[in-house]
Amino acid sequence: MKISARNAMKGVVKSVVPGMVTTEVVIEVAPGLEVASVITKSSAESLALKVGDEAYAVVKASDVMVALD
């Protein structure tokens, strides 16, 4: 599937923490650069995500803000 989301950052799954409805997944997309995600628990189970997997952090451009120091 080719998706319109502008941002698909390839990396490695560092942690998978399931809750009751949602699961937090952290992906390291560059050395020292981690991206945290919260997805539904059933999506995480459907993807069978586990630490060490190659995975993408995908973000729609309209969900990205810009900040300055």
Q: Which residues bind a second copy (CB under 8 A)?
A: 1-9, 17-25, 27, 29-31, 33, 35-40, 42-44, 46-47, 49, 53-69
Least distance (Å) from a second copy to the CB of residue 21? 3
In angstroms, give the least distance from the CB of 66 to a second copy: 4
CB burial of residue 60 (10 Å; 0-12, 13-18, 19+): exposed
CA atoms 49, 52, 53, 58: torsion sign:
positive
Q: Judge whether 36 and 26 are in contact, CB under 8 Å.
A: yes
Measured from the CB of residue 14, what is the shortest distance to a second copy in angstroms?
Answer: 12
